[in-house]
Amino acid sequence: MPDLPVLALHGISKSFPGVKALKSVSFSLEAGEIRALVGENGAGKSTLMKVLSGAYGADAGTISIFGKAVENPSPATMIGKGVAVIYQEMAQAPHLSVAENVLLGRLPRRTGGLVDWAEARRQTAAVLERLGFDIDPAARIDTLSVAKRQMVEIARALTRNARIIVLDEPSAVLAASEIAQLFAIIRKLSAEDGVAFVYISHRLVEVFDIAETVTVMRDGEVVHQCRTNEIDSETLIRHMVGREVGDIFPKRVPKIGNEALRISGLSAGGLVEDASLYVRRGEIVGLFGLAGAGRTETLKGLFGADRAAHGVLTLDGKTVRLASPRDGLANGLGLVPEDRKVAGLFLKQSVGFNITISSLKHLMAGPLLSRVKETALVDTIIRRLRVKTPNARAAVQNLSGGNQQKCVIGRLVGAECTILLADEPTRGVDVGAKREIYDLLFELSDSRQLAIVIASSELPEILNLCDRVYVMREGRITAELDARQTSEEEVMRYATHN
Ligand SMILES: Nc1ncnc2c1ncn2[C@@H]1O[C@H](COP(=O)(O)OP(=O)(O)OP(=O)(O)O)[C@@H](O)[C@H]1O
Ligand SMILES: [Mg+2]
C-alpha cells in the first residue's frame, strides 16, 4: 500500500462578503515533500493556509492528516496535529522576549509553577543554534529586524515538533544569504525528519530552487500542479496570470535635472555611520544592501523619522533640518515604509481612503473635496495596479498581502511629494503587478520629475530600475555605481566582505 499523504485538503471552499476566496480546492502533501504554492495577489494562497491552520473555518471541504479527517480544525487542534503556519503578516508579541515567543504557551516551569527563565533561554538558545541563527534569546522581539523575527517563528515551529510547516512568503523579508540558510534548514528537516513544507513565494527563482512540486492557484482555484523539473518559469507565469506579461522591466531614457536632495555624514538608527548620497530630479537611485546593512535606517533618517539621526541635509540646495515625519512631508518628501502594517496603512479604513489620504489637496474643488476627482483617482489605481477588492469601500485589512502593498504604492500617484523614498516597494507583489509598479515609478520620475530613492534587496530590480546605485554594508556606503555599467557580481562584492 502506498504511504498515506501527510496532508490532504479536499473540496475546500471559503467565502468572504463579496469574495469567493476558495472554490473547492484540493491540495495534498507527502512526508518530506517540499511543495511551492504560487499565484497572483489575491489568488487565495494565504486563505487556504489559514483554513489549514484552523484560523478560518471552511464553508465546505475536509482536512485529513495521515488519512484521518480532522473533526474540529481549530488552531489548537491543528498545532496538536503538527501543523505550523508561519504567516505572511507575522503575529508575534512584540514586547516579549525571543525565548517567550519561541516557547509561547509552553514555557518551562519550576516546581511551584514559576517560569524557569534560565531553562527557557537555554532551550531557545539550543534550537536557534541548531538552526544556525545568531539571535539572543533574551532580546525583545520589537528590537529585531523583520528577518530575525521570521527566524524566531521558524524556531517556534520546530520546538512544537511540526510535521507540516507552511512558510507564507518568508523570503520577502530575507536577504540572499539568509534565504540560502533557510533553504538549507528546509532541506535538512525534509530529508532527515520527513517534515513536509508548503512554500509560498512570488520569486520564481526560489520556487525552482527549493521546491520539488508546485501548485498554481488562480482566482480561488487550483489551475495547475506538476513537478518543478517539468515546467519552465514562463509557462508557470502563464498559469498564474492567465495572460502574457511580457518583459518585466520596462525601458526608459531618464531626463535628469537638478539636485533635489543631498545628505552628508548621516548617522542614523544606531547603525548608519557617515553616509553621504544625493539624488537629482528625474533620477531613480537604488540603495542596495543585505538585511541589516542600514538601508531602512538611511531612508528613515532622510525622512525625519529618526529623532537621533544627524547629518547635513540639503533640499534643492537649501540646508534644512527634519525633526519629524511631519517635517519630511511638509518639505515634499514621501516615504513608502518597509513595514506597511505598522506605518504604511490605515488598516481599518477603506481602500479608497488609503489611496487618497495623501492627495487631498489635489482633490479639492474650491473649498470642498471633489467626490468626482476622488472616485476617478481611486478607480484608476484599482484598475492599473489590479487591486483585487470587491469595491473601493472594502477595508484594507481584508485585502491579500500583495494587494495591501499596491494601496501603499497607489497612494503616491496623487500625492504631493516631490522626493520619493521607497523601502522595498514591490515586496510581496506578483509579477504582473510588479511590472505596473515599475511603469508607475518611471512615469512619476519622467513626467513629474520626482527624485526617487529605492531600497531593495532584489538585485535585478535595482539594476534594471535605477540610474545610480549606492551599495551599503554594515551601516556604511561602500560604493556608488552607474546602474547601467555595473553587474550583479560587482554590487554583491561591495555588499559583502571582499
Ligand atoms: N478576512 C477577509 N475578509 C474579506 N476578504 C478576505 C479576507 N481574507 C482574504 N480575503 C480575500 O480573499 C481573496 C484571497 O486572499 P488571499 O490573502 O488568500 O490571497 P493570496 O493568494 O495570499 O495573495 P497575496 O499573494 O497577495 O498574499 C482576496 O480577494 C482577499 O481580498
Ligand atoms: Mg498571501
What DSSP letter does each residue of 313-328 carry, written as one string?
Answer: EEETTEEE---SHHHH
In this structure, the residues whose C-beta lies within 6 A of any atom of ligand 1 are 16, 19, 21, 39, 41-47, 88, 388, 398-403
Rounded to the nearest whole angstrom, what is the distance from the C-alpha of residue 76 to the centroid of ligand 2? 22
Residues 302 and 296: their CA atoms lie apart, in Å, by 10
> Which pLDDT score is estimated for 373?
84
Same domain assignment for residues 420 and 455: yes
> Which pLDDT score is estimated for 1?
44
What torsion, rounded to 10 degrees, do the Cα atoms 67, 68, 72, 78 define? Answer: -60
Give the DSSP H or E segment for 61. Answer: strand 60-65
Same domain assignment for residues 114 and 177: yes
Nearest ligand, CA of residue 220? 1
Q: What is the CATH number of the domain that holds 106?
A: 3.40.50.300
Residues 453 and 255: their CA atoms lie apart, in Å, by 16
Rounded to the nearest whole angstrom, what is the distance from the C-alpha of residue 18 to the centroid of ligand 2? 18
Same domain assignment for residues 311 and 351: yes
Domain endpoint, select from 176, 208, 241: 241
Q: Is 444 inside any structural domain? A: yes
Query: Mapping DSSP to helix (H, G, I), strand (E, B) and coil, where does residue 66 land?
Result: coil
Q: Which domain holds residue 441?
A: 259-495
Pairing mode of beta strands 318-320, 272-280: unpaired
Same domain assignment for residues 362 and 458: yes
Lookup result for grid cell 544556525 = 132
Q: What is the pLDDT along the chain (498 residues), one digit of tens a residue?
A: 456 799 999 999 999 988 899 999 999 999 999 999 999 989 999 999 999 999 999 999 999 999 999 998 999 999 999 999 987 666 677 788 999 989 988 888 998 889 899 999 999 999 888 888 889 999 998 888 777 887 888 888 888 889 999 999 876 667 677 788 889 889 988 998 899 999 999 888 899 999 999 999 999 999 999 999 999 988 998 898 876 666 778 888 899 999 999 999 999 999 999 999 999 999 999 999 987 889 999 999 999 888 889 999 999 999 999 888 888 888 999 888 877 666 678 889 999 999 888 777 777 777 777 788 888 889 988 988 888 999 999 999 999 888 988 888 888 777 778 999 999 888 888 888 888 889 889 988 998 899 999 999 888 899 999 999 999 999 999 999 999 999 988 998 898 875
- Order of strands, sheet of 259-268, starting from the edge strand that comes earlier in the sequence: 272-280, 259-268, 310-315, 318-320
Same domain assignment for residues 108 and 229: yes
Helices 371-384 + 401-414 axis angle, to 10: 130
Q: Which atom of ligand 1 is nearest to the CA of 202?
A: 25
Q: Is 336 in contact with 408 (CB distance < 8 Å)?
A: yes
C-alpha cell at 88: 505572511
Q: Is 141 inside any structural domain? A: yes
Same domain assignment for residues 348 and 223: no
Q: Is 298 inside any structural domain? A: yes
Same domain assignment for residues 466 and 332: yes
Which residue is closest in CA terms to ligand 1's atom 16? Answer: 44
Rounded to the nearest whole angstrom, what is the distance from the C-alpha of residue 47 to the centroid of ligand 2? 7
Q: Is 251 inside any structural domain? A: no
Give the C-alpha distances (Å, rounded to integers) separating 186 from 126, 320, 395: 18, 49, 35
Q: Which atom of ligand 1 is nearest to the CA of 403?
A: 26
Rounded to the nearest whole angstrom, what is the distance from the C-alpha of residue 27 to the centroid of ligand 1? 18
Nearest ligand, CA of residue 428? 1
Residues 221 and 24: their CA atoms lie apart, in Å, by 7
Quote the longest CA-to-CA distance of the chain: 77
Same domain assignment for residues 212 and 314: no
Same domain assignment for residues 313 and 213: no
Which residue is closest in CA terms to ligand 1's atom 1? Answer: 398
Number of neighbouring beta carbons within 10 Å of residue 304: 23
Residues 126 and 138: their CA atoms lie apart, in Å, by 13
> Which pLDDT score is estimated for 498?
58
Same domain assignment for residues 186 and 295: no
Same domain assignment for residues 190 and 106: yes
Residues 67 and 72: their CA atoms lie apart, in Å, by 15
Ligand 1, pocket-test mutation among 40, 46, 382, most atoms within 8 A of CB: 46
Q: Is 119 inside any structural domain? A: yes
Rounded to a whole number of angstroms, the CA Rg of the chain reads: 23
Q: Is 113 inside any structural domain? A: yes
Number of neighbouring beta carbons within 10 Å of residue 349: 14
Q: Is 291 inside any structural domain? A: yes
Same domain assignment for residues 279 and 151: no
Rounded to the nearest whole angstrom, what is the distance from the C-alpha of residue 401 to the centroid of ligand 2? 5
Ligand 1, pocket-test mutation among 48, 241, 400, most atoms within 8 A of CB: 400
Q: What total of structural domains would you count in the chain?
A: 2
Which residue is closest in CA terms to ligand 1's atom 4? Answer: 398
Pairing mode of beta strands 318-320, 310-315: antiparallel
Residue 200: beta bridge partners? 37, 168
Residues 376 and 477: their CA atoms lie apart, in Å, by 42
Nearest ligand, CA of residue 168? 2
Domain endpoint, select from 215, 241, 267: 241
Q: Is 252 inside any structural domain? A: no
| 186 Ramachandran zone, left/alpha/beta (phi>0; psi -120 to 50) | alpha
> Which pLDDT score is estimated for 44?
95
Q: Which atom of ligand 1 is nearest to the CA of 43?
A: 21
Domain endpoint, select from 210, 241, 272: 241
